[in-house]
Structures are given as C-alpha cells and as structure tokens.
Amino acid sequence: MIIVGEKINTSRKSIAAAVEAQDVDFISEVAREQAEAGAHYIDVNAGTFLDKEVGYLCWLVEVVQNAVDLPLCLDSPNPKALAEAIKHHKGEPMINSISLEKERYEALLPVVTDRPCRVVALCMAETSMPNTVEERVQAGAQLINKLTNEGIPLEKIYLDPLVQPVSVDTGMGTAVLGAIQSIMNDLPGVNTICGLSNISFGLPMRSLINRNFLALCMNSGLSAAILDPTDKQLMATLLSTDMLLGRDEYCENFIEAYQSGHISGLS
Amino acid sequence: MSEFSALSEAVIKGDIQTAVAETQTALDAGSNVQDIVDKGLIAAMDQVGEKFSTGQMFVPQMLRSAKTMQECMKLIKPLFEEGQLSAKGKVVIGTVRQDLHDIGKNLVAMMMEGAGFSITDLGVDVSPKDFTQKAQEVGADIVAMSALLSTTMPAMRETIEALQEAGIRDKVKVMIGGAPVTENFASEIKADSYAPDAGSAVIAAKKLLGIS
C-alpha cells in the first residue's frame, strides 16, 4: 500500500495559520511526523488561499522537501498552481489531479508530460460526477487510454474512483469497491487511489466507517490511499488488513508497528 | 400539541406509510390544507433541520424525512391552484460554473423545500448568466450558490456581479456554501449569508427574509 500523508492541507486551521505565518518549523514537523508514521508521499494543498495559492504551494514544496526526503503529492484543482509547484519539486512528484473535464485536462497535460511524475486521474466523465461502477470504469479507461497515448506509463497512473457519501446513497460504497475491483482486474499494472473520509459524510462514528471502508477497498485491490498516517487506529486497520491479505511476510510490518507504538487498537 | 402531531412525528421518523395515511385522514376530516402543510409537514421538517444541525439526526434520516414530506405533498398539491399554496419565499439554487458537485446543494434544496420555500434548482455548472436570468424570471427572493472546489469559488463573485449588472442585486439575497467556502469569503464577495450545512441554510434563509 502506498500511503499519501494528507495532513498538510490548508483546509485545516492549524496548517492555514502556519502557512500564512510562513512557519517553517511547524510545517516541517507535520511533514516529519507523517514520514515517521510511514507515509511514502506527503500531500501539500494550499487551495483555500485562492489568489495566494500558487505562492504558498511553492513555499510548501520547498519547506516540506527540506524537512523530509520524500516525494510530494502536489494537490490542487488549479492547473496553474500545479504547473508552478512542480518546478520547485525535487524528484518525481505525484500530481493530484487530472480529469476528463476539458479545461482541466488541457491545462494539465503539458504539466504531467513535461517531466517524469505520477498522475492521479479522477474517474469522472467530462460533465458529471459518477454514480455507478460502469461510469467510473468507463471514465478510468478513457483517461488511461489518453494518458498512455501521451507517453505516461500505466503504472504511473493512479485512478481515483471518487468516493461519495454512503449517507446519500447506500450504493456509493459498492460503486467504489466494484470500480476498484474491475479496474485492477482489467488493467494490470495501473494503480488505484482514494481518500476515505467522503464515504462517512453525514454519519456518526466517521472514523470507524472510514477504517472499515479502507479495509474493504484494500480487499478490492486498492493500491494507494490518501490518509492521516499518524492516526494509529487507521494505520492498525491498514497494516492488519495487509497482513490478512497475505502481503506481510511473517506479519513483520504489523508486529513492528505495534512494538514501535505506531499502531493502536485504542482511540 | 398540534392536531397534526401524529403526522409530524411520522415525518420526523420518515415513516412514509403512516405520514401519508395521516395526511389523508386530516384531509378527510376537512382540516385546512394550508394548516396541514404548515403545522404538520413544515413544522416537522423544521425540527428535522434543527436536530440535524445539532448532530442529533444524520443525513440519511433527513433524506428520509424529506422524502416522506414529498409523498404527503403529492396528496396535497392537487388541492391547490397554481401558486395558491403560500411559499415562504422563492429560491433559485445551483452549483456554480464548472463545478459538478451536487450532493451538498441537493441537501440544501431539499431542506429548503421542506421548510416551505419554493425551489428552482438549476443543477450543476450554472453560469452567472443562468443564475441571473432565472432569478429575474421567477422573481427570486434568494439566490443560493454552492461550490466544492477552490477553483470554482470565484464564480460566486462573478454571479454576484452579474446580479448587480442586471440591476437585481438589491432585490435578491445571496447565500453561499460548500466545503471550501467560509464566512470570510462570503463577506469578501459581499454575499448576504454563508451556511455550513443544510440545516443552517434553512435558518439563514429565514433570517434573510425576516421569517421566524
């Protein structure tokens, strides 16, 4: 499982305050704690700053890569911010995200083909959010077709099936699980990635729902997740699921995380 | 206790069968139809919105209550002439240009309808021009906009400017919401109100129009 640490997002108040104050120490610490907890990528998102987003995102790239030796997930719906931020990034970033929406696709294509990177691609049609498994799979296949034709290797594409709240439509869980399964079966080599928290919008006990959903997604073949790696219960779910799926020889990772205090069954 | 308490309770529970039966009973008994709507259905949805806002009820329960009310309205609507059923106000609602997210917007529309507003839902990817034209056409009291992306939030400002240019900005109240939207942003673009969730949206809308 590839873990993308989600904590450096200016939709969180403490992060927004630190970014505005240009607090290098605070941001560095949030980056380090996620790296220590097992993140493979550190997500950086300054989208809430609108006009100031581009400058702040570039600043975050510099600060985080000075603090940790990891690639970043550059996260913005704004192609301009991504195009600038990638110039500051050392190594191979993950770009989050491209979609079939015409304007976004056309603006991002030169960015993601200019240099080696990984690309998160949203499984939505050009003009609507997906509901069914088929809509997701179809949009995903279309994106893969287009992006591989542009020379992006299949294994560098991360399809995001777009998690929507199960509170609004109880079919939303199985729609994502079915899409992951179908994508991973039909297109060997491609990656799937998603965030978890949308699934539990509008419901009580959200973190429990998110954890169970993560386990189900992993069982369906999910290969990467955007989450908080410092959440010990969530990481316990992730590592125990990996173990139960036969991907942790001698149960080493699970036991190691337990012994080092990185995971816990208690909240 | 209102004479429609059994109806209200059924709506709050989302018990469609009982609520429809209670509505029919009230109609058969010759109750005032506007009273059934106001004191039975809307009163119930007011409670639902309040309980939702305070975390005592959750989205699926709210949807179920709204669906229950809609089923009851199917019995009631034919008894009113067009426009005779008094609405609290006219709301034109939509997700702004280039934004395709509609879940939050749908919840707000549903709760506002439940509260007795007349709703014109323009769907997603609604241009400033479309908001403005529809607001003029229906004589809207409120224009409600949703955005889920930081990149589409500026379209809210543009819509407000379009309302201004059309000369109707002083005739409508503007409400905004959506995950990246904040109270600050609302005041920055001179929207009249910001609401963080569907329950608060109803309360904010009533406040804007001076309805208790």
Mean pLDDT on B40-49: 95
- The token duo for A18 is 């630190």
Q: Read off the pLDDT band of B137 (50, 70, 90).
A: very high
d(CA A172, CA A160): 14
Chain B hits for A77, Cβ within 8 Å: 149-152
pLDDT digits (tens, 9 = 90+) for B66-89: 999 999 999 998 888 766 777 889
Per-residue confidence (pLDDT) for residue B86, from 0 to 100 = 73
Q: Read off the pLDDT band of B6 (50, 70, 90).
A: very high
Mean pLDDT on B128-151: 96
At a CB cut-off of 8 Å and minimum separation 6, what does A259 contact? none
Per-residue confidence (pLDDT) for residue B202, from 0 to 100 = 94
pLDDT digits (tens, 9 = 90+) for A71-80: 999 999 999 9
Per-residue confidence (pLDDT) for residue B79, from 0 to 100 = 87
- The token duo for A64 is 């985080």
- Please name each of the domains of chain B with its CATH number: 5-79 (1.10.1240.10), 90-208 (3.40.50.280)
Q: Read off the pLDDT band of A90 (50, 70, 90).
A: very high
Q: Do A129 and B179 touch (CB under 8 A)?
A: no
Residue tagged 């039909």 (tokens): A186
Mean pLDDT on A178-189: 96
User: Does position A53 have pLDDT exceeding 60, yes or no?
Assistant: yes
Listed in sequence order, the DSSP H helices in chain B are: 5-13, 16-28, 33-35, 43-53, 59-76, 103-114, 128-138, 154-165, 183-188, 198-208
| B120 CA: distance to closest CA in chain A (Å) | 20
Ranges of CATH 3.20.20.20 domains, chain A? 2-231
At a CB cut-off of 8 Å and minimum separation 6, what does A226 contact? A4, A6, A43, A73, A96, A193, A194, A195, A196
Mean pLDDT on B33-59: 94
pLDDT digits (tens, 9 = 90+) for B144-176: 999 999 899 999 999 999 999 999 999 999 999
Q: Do A77 and B149 touch (CB under 8 A)?
A: yes
Element (H, E) at A27: helix A24-36
Show which residues on chain B lie within 8 Å of chain A, measured between beta carbons.
55, 58-60, 62-63, 98, 100-103, 106-107, 124-125, 149-154, 179-180, 182
Q: Do A129 and B100 touch (CB under 8 A)?
A: yes
Mean pLDDT on A97-115: 95
Average pLDDT over all residues of chain A: 96
Q: Do A127 and B151 touch (CB under 8 A)?
A: no
Q: Do A168 and B58 touch (CB under 8 A)?
A: no
Say if A128 is an interface residue toward chain B (CB within 8 Å). yes
Query: ipTM for the complex?
Result: 0.88
pLDDT digits (tens, 9 = 90+) for A225-263: 999 999 999 999 999 999 999 999 999 999 999 999 999
Of A241, A255, A181, nearest to A212 (Cα)?
A: A241
CATH of A2-231, one of 3.30.365.10, 3.30.420.40, 3.20.20.20, 3.30.470.20: 3.20.20.20
Average pLDDT over all residues of chain B: 94
Q: Do B41 and B77 form a contact (C-beta atoms < 8 A)?
A: no
Mean pLDDT on B179-183: 92
Per-residue confidence (pLDDT) for residue B83, from 0 to 100 = 63
Q: Do A47 and B180 touch (CB under 8 A)?
A: yes
Residue of B nearest to A11 (CA): B180
User: Does position B63 have pLDDT exceeding 90, yes or no?
Assistant: yes
d(CA A210, CA A128): 25
Say if A126 is an interface residue toward chain B (CB within 8 Å). no
Is A238 exposed, middle or buried, given 0-12, 13-18 or 19+ CB atoms closer than 10 A?
A: buried
Per-residue confidence (pLDDT) for residue A267, from 0 to 100 = 62
Element (H, E) at B58: none
